[in-house]
Chains A and B, each alone.
Chain A
């Protein structure tokens, strides 16, 4: 047990916290924007998986990781577009549409991967030369702090940057204000001449792009290959983090880091052979989400029209 609380192990946990939090943070800030427009996109898991795959495919074919990220954004964006068509235009039940697209994303990614890389019944499991961490000069030389904060992947910096960016977008721009208004009361916006469908498309496609990039982190930065269970429930956790964060960007950052920290601790505990029930740590984020939901009951920031399709002239 003493071995566990060494400097290097603890530092390692903090470094890993950010790495684990990155895909969650990127997907969750995107989902926050989508949900702000009143559309719950339950297909995050499938969207992240498809993004992880299209990112990997493009990177592997072109040898360019940055083009890989473009591929992931396109893959995720395409899923977002499908979701937007089904919910904003066709006005299908959002839960049904989300679950259906989730299966499409997962199945589509597996199928596509096999059809490209399977030869003679065996998958080759190719790898890419993944992103290295982007070391910030000088700052990264600060002991401990440098390693934790300034020696991470570009996507990690991007994810953290998206927190203030999302905050400013939603609260300080007219487009963001109108988007949130649509999420609360689309009819009020329609009656003031605010285009609802175009804004919902924008928000949901953006959410898809971000989920795709979150997925690409797993196949191009955190790891260097694609496999079936690569997302491993992170899409669902990102959805839970939006709820845990009570639809506020700053709390979504806190939620992602908390989950990253618990997961990193749990992994370290397992690796060091400490005999503690790591399952408890695994379950903690979900327990905390439920606790947060109960505590926030009376001041919930949930978009009041979330999941309710809008039809003009129907009261």
Chain B
């Protein structure tokens, strides 16, 4: 990257990378519909759009992961044939995917060397020297010999960025790089990205967060449903304009929510400890209470025990110490099925792996877990008529878009998958809803639906434990906010009594007394 500014034909401000009328079709979806984008040298160019707008597909085309059916990519005015990421790297284009592309059991330095034209006889001293220079230059403290799987997600992000820059790329594509960072971590990343741009690097940043676009970018291209809505200079627009371009209509930035009064506690978690042997995080004496008729939002950077808390409450794993009571009954050692019969609904973060059987039909997934109820089966024989009736009702009430109840679940979109889970889990009028990242990856309409539904359930009298990495969601929905850090709840507050910055500090592990240094 040191020589990024010298090589190539384009001077700063001229087009360096251009996509011309690019069309990419996946079975059933036109992911990119005649998309044209012009990226200028040494600018930070945001690709803005909702989930499913085609941002990542476009980036993957620029990086050689996909080949477009139509259109072409031009680099410095010349057509660029991209058959694989190898071609892109050789052309000076690097990409950091949202889903990290790391080899967890290997060291930082080994991850960096993979794919580089290093000598066959591995001599890591040169790579180590360059990497240490990079890290020192940008004030990043990471041990090059550390095992990547043991680094925090923020550190892994840096490894991803530096291992891409190690190729000496001129164009860096970042796909949703802030998803795993605290507000302070985001500031740090943006500071470094601006510096890299000033040093001549061209940066393409994919995001759906308007604030990031306004903070960082020079220009922004908005995509909606696979098409380009327009490219504008960031300085010329306001957040509201971008929101309208992105969604295609005026956006309500607030969810309607009446004040609530918390009733009897439905969930009481006291000082629970849970080991990290399953790789799903650990808890170190976590306590939290949820009352009926309130939403308690758990904010935190991913990997601080959210998965473990979810597992412990729904009974997938049992804590080594401490106790859990649900509607007054001790469930510390109870099996998931028993906990569910107490009126607990669970909406897991990974809806595909944990929430659904993707190769089952929609109606089967709608009764999954409840199949033993008298309504659905007698003496082990499924009552198909009842299941069909229930499925038809659920599809209707929850507005699940599916050709039929017998449709294989795999073919549905993310929003509809989540609606199936919500329909199933909310069918028994639960007293406690444990929702982990309930709107991650959903488009705005589905997100609004899920949030409205959670508020409705609260108003009905259910207690909701909402774990989310989306701070806007936490602030919009929560009656109380709890911050999870390192397996503990480090702060509990109310949305009106705090600020985004304060929550961010807590998420980074700062206590109230030393807010100056996270």
Contact = CB atoms under 8 A, between A and B. Distances in A.
Given A174-B119, A184-B106, A312-B65, A194 B114 contact: yes
B317 to A, nearest CB: 16
Contact of A177 (B87, B122, B277): B122
Contact of A190 (B85, B99, B121, B277): B85
A181 B114 contact: yes
B353 to A, nearest CB: 12
A193 B104 contact: no
B120 interface: yes
Nearest to A190: B85
A272 interface: no
B480 interface: no
User: Secondary structure of the B side of the interface?
Assistant: loop
A154 interface: no
Contacts of A190: 84-85
B113 interface: yes
B60 interface: yes
B101 A193 contact: no
A185 interface: yes
Query: Can you list the 7 inter-chain pairs with the closest CB atoms, starting with the nearest?
Result: A193-B86, A192-B115, A188-B101, A191-B101, A181-B103, A194-B115, A184-B103
Contact of A174 (B86, B111, B120): B120
Contact of B114 (A188, A304, A315): A188
A315 B101 CA distance: 11
Nearest to B87: A193
A298 B114 contact: no
Given A174-B113, A184-B104, A191-B63, 18 more contacts: A172-B121, A174-B120, A174-B121, A177-B110, A177-B113, A177-B114, A180-B106, A181-B103, A181-B111, A185-B101, A185-B103, A188-B111, A190-B84, A192-B101, A193-B84, A193-B85, A193-B88, A301-B105
Contact of A191 (B65, B118, B122, B277): B65
A193 B89 contact: yes
B89 A185 contact: no
A269 interface: no
B120 A313 contact: no
Chain A interface extent, by class: 20 to 34
A175 B117 CA distance: 11
Contacts of B122: 172-174, 177
Interface string B56-81: 00001001011000000000000000
B105 A304 contact: yes
Nearest to A178: B114
B95 interface: yes
19 contacts: A173-B121, A177-B113, A181-B106, A181-B110, A181-B114, A185-B103, A188-B114, A189-B103, A191-B95, A192-B89, A193-B87, A193-B89, A193-B115, A194-B115, A195-B86, A298-B277, A312-B84, A313-B66, A315-B99
Contacts of B100: 188
Contacts of A304: 104-105
A301 B104 CA distance: 12
Contacts of B10: none
B102 interface: yes
B97 interface: yes
A301 B102 CA distance: 16
A73 to B, nearest CB: 23
Contacts of B95: 191
Given A172-B121, A177-B122, A313-B65, A191 B106 contact: no
Given A181-B114, A193-B84, A194-B114, A188 B103 contact: yes
Nearest to A195: B86
A45 interface: no
Contact of A185 (B60, B63, B104, B118): B104
Contacts of B66: 313
A193 B166 CA distance: 13
B445 to A, nearest CB: 23
A173 B120 contact: yes
Interface in B120-167: 120-122, 163
A46 to B, nearest CB: 31
B215 to A, nearest CB: 27
